[in-house]
Amino acid sequence: MEDDDGMRRALHWAEAALAAGQAPFGAVVVDAEGAVLGEGHNTVAADRDVTAHAEVVALRAAWNRLGDRQGLAACTLYTSCEPCLMCSCAITQLGLRRVVFAARGDEVPGARRLFEADLTGAAAWAAEHRPGWRMPEIRGELLRAEAVAIMARYDWG
């Protein structure tokens, strides 16, 4: 799957989240051959689960489909927004090969980075200090304007 296609699919899920009244974040996990293994959107409010970020929803689905976590090491995660610190640690612990995101985390209205950490910094720290964790290749700001436009339509109040 080309990066543009993966990101458009993640943005589709962000739109689905918006339509469902959830924070407008979407994510897709794709294997090395381009097959979609897991996808979804933020369901924090609906599931009453603070860990149900779009990335975690997609990773859970992919892991369930694969049956083991080792297969995730060859995967790419497409996400409509730069992963937060929690998601960055999960991505690094699972050893994903690549992460492609659209909007920067600090472009979420009212958001502030926890400990001033971003995906690159958190993943690099974890990969260096946690045995077996791996720093993914990161590509940022793909279709950024589209992601920011989706986020702007959500009532962050």
Question: Mind telling me the catalytic residues?
Answer: 55
- Cα–Cα dist 82/15, whole Å: 16
Q: Cα–Cα distances in Å, from 113 out to 44, 106, 117, 119, 121?
A: 19, 7, 6, 10, 12
User: Both tokens of residue 111?
Assistant: 């958001």
Place of tokens 């994903």: 96
What gap in Å lies between CA 68 and CA 77, rounded to an integer? 17
| E-state strands within 19-146 | 26-30, 36-41, 76-81, 98-103, 137-139
